[in-house]
Amino acid sequence: MNKGVSRISITDFLAALPGAVCLDVRAPGEYAAGHLPGASSFPLFSDAERALVGTAYKQESPQKALELGLLYVGPKMSGFVREAHQLAAGKPILMYCWRGGQRSGAMAWLLAQAGIEVRVLEGGYKAWRQYAHQLFEQSWYIRVVGGYTGSGKTETLQHLQQLGTQVLDLEALARHKGSAFGGMVDDPQPSNEHFINLLAMRLLEMDPQKPLWVEDESRMIGSINLPAAFFSQMEAAPCYLLEVSVQRRIKRLLAEYGRAKSEVLQQNFKRIGKKIGGQQVNEALQALADGDLATAASIALRYYDKAYALDLKAKNPAQLHSIVVAQEEARVYAQKLIELTNEAHELT
């Protein structure tokens, strides 16, 4: 490649990310489906142009596809250079396309002619995806925070992180609270493809030799499907069950969902109608109509408690550890969990 352009491995590419600008030169639709976290969309072709070039390549010839591509790119070249200079601001540019081939090669050549240092990801986005899945298969020192709905598992994770422990908040990455009521957030969930990217990038920040705390989750978080290799490690890891009174759990649910619109809560109860039973749903809907959120919350807990009890039965009893603290506060649970993990580590 031209002077000013180099091809680098995925490990070198990731190591260079903090001090560089990362550009994804694939089409906007490809970028929207999933991209390297932190990368900006810098498409060589629009979605329509990419489709037409691909059709020309398959139905006519590579030469025809090249000619068509040059026709599309020619008028944009000065704009690419101008925008790249603004984005780079003296920093090197990291770049990738799908396989690290023609699109990134062409864009890198152009920017190098303008005096910008460019490093192209060898193997492209596909190489990153392969690397991400290798991370999930790596051995992780996972510890699971479990407990019935309303136990404060997410709050406990937050306190664990504040106390200096490694935490992976899967629900935050998935933008979902992991239940029928969990999708009541303003931001839509990422695509499953992009969730994988976000998860892999978070794991790169973790030390595999130290405890990594996660919340007890099912394989699906809303519409997100957790990677099989990583989820199997979660299933096999010790699970610490926060023992919290029903009264405290109802109070937490009211604080978390009490401000939601009544019609939204009604829709979510109707969604679980077949599982919870018609009579229970009607009672919950009447309670919502009466403004009795505590009764509605207690009905929801009956459903979730039954479902979670079945999940616990499927686990190895040796994995389960009940955690009881007098104050029933997330901060105290976090401190207790760290103590227990340290004790277990000393015994190994």
CATH number at residue 77: 3.40.250.10
What six digits make up the tokens of 247? 């009264």
At 263 the pLDDT is 76
Host H or E run for residue 307: helix 293-313
What six digits make up the tokens of 56? 């020309």
At 344 the pLDDT is 60
* Residues 122 and 164 reside in one and the same domain: no
Q: Whose structure tokens read 């994995």? A: 319
At 299 the pLDDT is 85
How many domains does the chain divide into? 2
At 326 the pLDDT is 85
- Amino acid present at 326: A
Out of 133, 168, 186, a domain closes at: 133
* Residues 178 and 89 reside in one and the same domain: no
Q: Which residues of the chain, if any, have pLDDT below 50?
A: 1-2, 183-184, 346-348
Q: Please, are residues 150 and 249 in contact by the beta-carbon 8 Å criterion?
A: yes
Q: Please, are residues 120 and 101 in contact by the beta-carbon 8 Å criterion?
A: no
Buried b (16+ CB within 10 A) or exposed e, 200-236: bbbbeebeeeebbbbbbbeeebbebebbeebbebbbe
At 287 the pLDDT is 76
At 150 the pLDDT is 92
What six digits make up the tokens of 113? 């002619």
DSSP result, 121-186: ETTHHHHHHHHHHHHHHS---EEEEE-STTS-HHHHHHHHHHTT-EE--HHHHHTS-SSTTTT-SS
Structural domain of residue 105, as residue ranges? 5-133
* Residues 175 and 295 reside in one and the same domain: yes
* Residues 223 and 167 reside in one and the same domain: yes
CB under 8 Å to 94, separation ≥6 — which residues? 13, 16, 17, 20, 21, 22, 23, 118, 119, 121
* Residues 282 and 166 reside in one and the same domain: yes
pLDDT of 36-88, one tens digit each? 999 999 999 999 999 999 999 989 998 998 899 899 999 999 999 999 999 99
Out of 118, 133, 148, a domain closes at: 133
Torsion of CA 3, 81, 49, 22, to 10 degrees: 70
List residues with catalytic annotation. 97
Q: Tell me what the pLDDT averaged over the chain comes to.
A: 89
* Residues 107 and 247 reside in one and the same domain: no
* Residues 41 and 186 reside in one and the same domain: no
pLDDT of 264-303, one tens digit each? 777 777 777 666 667 777 887 777 777 788 888 888 888 8
Regarding beta strands 224-225 and 220-221, do their DSSP bridges make them parallel or antiparallel, or are they unpaired?
Answer: antiparallel
